[in-house]
Structure 1
Amino acid sequence: MRFEKLSNQSPTDLILSTWSSLRDTYESTFKNTKFDDFMLALRDGIQKGEITEETLSDRRLEHIAHNQLSAMYPFLYACVLNDLAQQTLDSGNKDASWPLIVEASASAADAATHAFYNAEIDIPAALRHQKALAGAVARDAKFQRAKDYAITLMTEKRPKLGWLDLKHASQSIEKELGEFIESERMSLSKLRLVNTLKRWYETDKRFKDSVNAIITNT
């Protein structure tokens, strides 16, 4: 689909469009520096053999291994390819320029996308939040058996007139629940089970609804 859309434009127009995208990405990412100066340094590095296919390959591996959200590698790759596309087109080899043009355009689009999200979103904070959320979900799943057993105990030990409140129910099942948690080697304090049950009641709707169905006055 990308090639079909690009093929409706001339190679020159496509190369210019990619340069425009790269310039916008550069200027939005690197304040108070000039894209033209960057390109002069890049071309100089290529001519001196400091930037080679091997260099780009190393950058790509580093990008994949350490920071796939960074715009740096797709930006650099697009600059190199677009420059090669222009050189190939200038030499009169239009057919050979097309693969370079398409790849440069795609890489420039990736760079622009990464730059936008890095500018608009605190990526490290978002990843920390995602990791913390995943940890919370894992902990909840781990403690679900204790919650289920607490509900079972509240049901089995429920007085004829019902529990007075959550505290009454929690204190009455504390010993048996503590023994279950110890046997299952769960990282929960046996000394604070009443507070733990109260926290679950406040934060876990499913647990709260189950407790409310057992206790007559909560």
Structure 2
Amino acid sequence: MLFEKLANKSPETLILNTWKSLRTTYNLIPENTCFDGFTQGLRDGIKKGEISEALLDDQWLVHIATDQMNPTYPFIYACLLNEIAQQTLDSGDLNKSWPLIVQASTKAEVAAVHAFYNSEIDIHAALNHRRASTASNASNSKLQPAKDYAVTLMREKRPKHGWLDLKHAAQSIENELGDFIDRERISLSKNLLVNTLKRWHKTDEQFRDLVNEIIA
């Protein structure tokens, strides 16, 4: 697909199109300067030797390790390559400019995709939600033995005429469930077991269904 975009177009046109794409992408990236100001700063940095391919290559692993969906890194890399491609073309070295043009166009597309998705969805919120969900699942797994034993106790200790309600059942098994928590070293407060059982009954559908069968 990239080859089709590059075919039958002059290198000057391709470089110009990449700049247009980068300008559009820049509008999706929160920055304190305008695009023209940014590119002028980039050119100044190149002249002073403060910005180079080698420097950006060194930052690649940092980008991958910290925030792969952040468009800033591929955006800056695309700008750098496109500027070097223009300078190379201006010097008359057409053959050397082509690889730079292709790489700049590729990086610009990556930056555009990342910028678009970051503008449409909150990537950080989604990742935080996933981490929270994973942590919650891990916590529930550790508490499952206590939930299972609570159901067992309610079933075994169920009075002849049944439990009056959930509170009655929870208070009746509180001590034995507390002993079980101590033996199994489960991270739960023994002083809040009745409230904990009530909370599980509200938030854990499987636990609620099992308990309802016993106290119904």
- Quickly name the TM-score band, shorter chain normalised: 0.7 to 0.9
Give the secondary-structure state (helix, strand or coil) at the position aligned to 2:59: helix
1:33 is displaced (CA, Å) by 3.3
Residue 124 of structure 1, CA deviation = 4.2
Deviation at 1:141, TM superposition (A): 1.2
Per the alignment, residue 63 of structure 2 pairs with 63
- My pick for the range that moved more, 20-29 or 82-91, is 82-91
1:4-23 equivalences under 5 Å are: 4-12=3-11, 13-23=13-23
1:130 corresponding residue in structure 2: 130
* Equivalent residue number for residue 157 of structure 1: 157
Q: Residues 99, 148 of structure 1: CA spacing in aligned structure 2 closer, same or farther, 3 A cutoff?
A: farther
Gaps of 5+ in 1: none
Letter in 1 for 2:5: L
Letter in 2 for 1:6: K
Taking the aligned partners of 2:37 and 2:207, their CA distance within structure 1 comes to 62
Report % sequence identity. 59
Aligned to 1:205: 205
- Report the counterpart of residue 74 of structure 1 in structure 2: 74
Deviation at 1:123, TM superposition (A): 4.3
User: Is this contact kept in 1: 2:74–2:107, CA < 8 A?
Assistant: yes
Aligned to 2:144: 144
Distance 1:70 1:39 in 2: 19
Relative to the length of structure 2, the TM-score reads 0.84
Cα distance in 2 for partners of 1:38, 1:61 equals 24
**How far apart are 1:120 and its partner, in Å?**
4.0
1:194 alignment partner in structure 2: 194
Q: Distance in 2 between matches of 1:15 and 1:27?
A: 19
Which deviates further from its counterpart, 49-58 or 115-124? 115-124
Q: Distance in 1 between matches of 2:21 and 2:75?
A: 10
In the alignment, residue 94 of structure 2 is paired with which amino acid? N
Indicate if the aligned counterparts of 1:46 and 1:52 stay in contact, CA closer than 8 A.
yes
Structure 2 SS opposite 1:179: helix
The farther-off stretch of 6-15 and 40-49 is 6-15
Query: Could you say which residue in structure 2 is the equivalent of 1:50?
Result: 50
1:49-88 Cα deviation digits (max 9, x unpaired)? 2222332123333323433332221111001112233344
Q: Structure 1's 152 and 4: CA in aligned 2 closer, same or farther, altered over 3 A?
A: farther
- C-alpha distance in structure 1 between counterparts of 2:60 and 2:124, whole Å: 21
